[in-house]
Amino acid sequence: MTKKKTYITKSEEETFQLGEKFAAKWNPPMTVLLRGDLGAGKTVLTRGFSSGLGLEDLSLVHSPTFSLVNIYETPSGSLYHIDLYRLDNSKEQYSVGLDEILGEPGFVVIEWSEKLKIPVSEYLLVDIRVLDDDSREISLEPGSGAGY
């Protein structure tokens, strides 16, 4: 049985630091499914993940809403940052090579993962809920046996 863990962050910096903390413990392959409203902090958390994996130039990490996929080369391996906000069906997701990316040996972070139509065998589901302007409730739950 998997356990859900919940954390409260009280600032953007704390959300970033939480991402750093978790990524420092990751080994590839790792798939993270992010869920949360616009402005919840999905990209901030991803920037923290990137830092935890050793990426030095964090200015490279931005939401791939229009590019759909950003790839960051870190000392720990490639990090694929994907945004499904504009991809509504499996055909569109396959057309950007999502199935191939999910088979890569690196790290994959998917924003708007509730739109994901391609099966993922092991993953970490991260729900971000806005509590107020600065505070977030961040829940992590492994899926299909994935650990964190």
Superfamily of domain 5-143: P-loop containing nucleotide triphosphate hydrolases (3.40.50.300)
Read off the DSSP letter of residue 120: -
Q: What percent of the chain has pLDDT over 90?
A: 66
- In this prediction, residue 145 has a pLDDT band, given cuts at 50, 70 and 90, of very low
Burial class (CB in 10 A: 0-12, 13-18, 19+), 38: exposed
Question: Is residue 15 pLDDT above 70, yes or no?
Answer: yes
Task: Summarize the confidence of residues 69-76 as an average pLDDT.
Answer: 94
Burial class (CB in 10 A: 0-12, 13-18, 19+), 117: middle
Neighbours of 79 (CB within 10 A): 26
Structure-block tokens of residue 107 = 């790290």
pLDDT score of 63: 86
Strand partners, 81: 70, 109
